[in-house]
Structure 1
Amino acid sequence: MSVEELTSSYVTVYTNRQFYRVLTAAFTHVLPIHILMNLVYLYNIGSVLEPSLSSNIFLSFYFLVLVLGGFISAFIHKMYLPNTPSLGASGALCGLLGIYIAIIITIYGENQLGFIIPTIGILCLQVFWKRIDSIAHFSGLLTGIVIGVLYLKMLGY
């Protein structure tokens, strides 16, 4: 099976109704540096976020932002480049960052966000890198913020 058969795009997900591609794309990486960077990012955000949520909630949120963010990203691509391939776990990882941002702002206040400004800056710079699907990153981030806010509301914050 080729990498192209595992990526997602508007055409493959919505037009061809191959919904599984949102999942396969998230677990497909072409370059070793891509998976290495995602693993480092997962370790960094996971080591802080998982203990505060529990392993089951963390895993559930990971898959929730992966799926919702993937579908949103593919849909947004419809307007510009419907065949844009998307792959990797970066969108889901940005979703975890969004959940973390929601928790930090709600519980500790926005003045505690200073240490993640470099991470957000890197996300913003990626808009200019042609080989990176920035829409997947930002749809994951925004999906994560919404999920984080809803989760905190359920907890009474």
Structure 2
Amino acid sequence: MFFVRTESFKQFLKFYPVISTLVAIHIIVFMISSLSMPFRELIVGSNLPILLDQQYWRLVTPIFTHFEPMHLLFNTFSLIIFGPALEVMLGRIKFILAYLAVGIMANVVTLFLAEMTYAHVGASGAIFGLFGIYLFLLLMRPELIDANSRQIIIVIIIVGVLLTFRPGINIYAHIFGLIGGLALGPILFARYKGHFRI
């Protein structure tokens, strides 16, 4: 079962360089933003500066940004558990492009649907995009997922969606990240021959 991590730290870095890099960026950004308030304010996904001052980088930076330790821990842990299988299946370039695409899409939807003064951070939109890709596999390419992994995916998606509707959660990023991943699935796996199964 591929969702159980058995690699050593050194092996993980070698086998999953994209995930490892994303985790390192999470930690570095968290540390810098904890020490520098100007930096912190510059990377928030704040709708008002995007709309009024064209600060479009704010559609990207929230994907790597966490201000609370538990938020950082939860999203980073989710990435470590659920990212590697897709990095292996898709390859490094396709994986990072898909991850960024769903994360940015979730932030763009937030820009248009949330109020002008709304501000947010977190990799949740991109991570829910990964869940959306798994949902595509579950529905359309079930032969690529073993029975135990299917059960885990179903439970994680259900729990993730239910936990979305809590105070302080960017509902738009979660829901549209999931939808974005589901929509990308057919493109990402159009030519996949099934040489690796989860």
Q: TM-score, normalised by structure 2?
A: 0.68
Q: Partners in 2 of 1:119 and 1:57 — Cα distance?
A: 23
Shift of 1:2: 5.0
**One of 77, 99, 106 as aligned partner of 1:40:** 77
Contact 1:23 1:66 in 2 (8 A): yes
Task: Identify which range, 10-19 or 48-57, moves more after superposition.
Answer: 10-19
- 2:142 corresponding residue in structure 1: 108
Contact 2:164 2:174 in 1 (8 A): no
**1:135/1:111 CA distance change after superposition, 3 Å:** farther
Shift of 1:74: 1.6
Query: For residues 83-132 of structure 1, what are the alpha-carbon distances to aligned partners after superposition, in whole Å with 9 as ceiling and x for unaligned?
Result: 12110111011111111221232111799643223222222223432111
Query: For residues 10-44 of structure 1, what are the alpha-carbon distances to aligned partners after superposition, in whole Å with 9 as ceiling and x for unaligned?
Result: 32323432110011222211111111111110011
Say if 2:128 is the partner of 1:94. yes
Contact 1:103 1:148 in 2 (8 A): yes
User: RMSD of the TM alignment (CA)?
Assistant: 2.4
- 1:27 corresponding residue in structure 2: 64
Say if 2:114 is the partner of 1:83. no
Residue identity over aligned pairs, in percent, reads 28
Matches within 5 A, 1:59-70: 59-70=96-107
- 1:155 corresponding residue in structure 2: 191
Could you list the runs of 5+ residues in structure 2 that have no partner in the other structure?
1-37, 194-198
Could you list the runs of 5+ residues in structure 1 that have no partner in the other structure?
none
Q: State the number of aligned residues.
A: 153
Task: Identify which range, 1-10 or 92-101, moves more after superposition.
Answer: 1-10
Shift of 1:156: 7.9
Shift of 1:146: 0.7
Q: Which structure carries more relative contact order (alpha carbon 8 Å, separation 6+)? A: 1
Q: Partners in 2 of 1:83 and 1:122 — Cα distance?
A: 29
- 2:178 corresponding residue in structure 1: 141
Q: Secondary structure at the match of 1:155?
A: coil
Structure 2: which amino acid aligns with 1:155? Answer: R
Task: Identify which range, 16-25 or 116-125, moves more after superposition.
Answer: 116-125
Shift of 1:151: 2.6
**1:128/1:63 CA distance change after superposition, 3 Å:** closer
**One of 34, 37, 55 as aligned partner of 1:18:** 55
Task: Identify which range, 136-145 or 15-24, moves more after superposition.
Answer: 15-24
Q: Partners in 1 of 2:128 and 2:161 — Cα distance?
A: 12
Contact 1:126 1:134 in 2 (8 A): no
